[in-house]
Amino acid sequence: MSRWLTEAVPRGRIAAFRTVIYLFVAADLVVFTPWVRTRASVPGELYQPLLIGRLLPLPTPTPTMVAVIFWALLLLTLLAATAGHPGCSVGRSARCTWSG
């Protein structure tokens, strides 16, 4: 069992899987759970944090905070999905086509 879990896998397959995960996060933000952003304007008195929010001193979400986190997550996941540079192939031996 442990041999199967630790068997060598081609880097391209890992890079492709990583890209799929990043694109799923972006799709989750935009397609699957867009209703979360509409709840940002709920008054702070009605906010009931999850267990992690009760254990850590996290602030009550505000519409500005939700918008900043949404756009930062979306931008960073799309940037990560393209291996950091537009026009680059995914993987460690990335080949970039630079125009300009």
Within-domain flag for 95? no
What does pLDDT average to over the chain? 82
pLDDT tens per residue, range 42-83: 898 898 889 998 999 989 889 999 999 999 999 999 999 887
Within-domain flag for 42? yes
The predicted pLDDT at position 10 comes to 85
Query: How many independent structural domains does the chain possess?
Result: 1
User: Is residue 63 within 8 Å of residue 40, measured between CB atoms?
Assistant: yes
Within-domain flag for 58? yes
Cβ within 8 Å of residue 74, ≥6 positions away: 26, 29, 30
What's the pTM value of the predicted model, to 2 decimals? 0.70
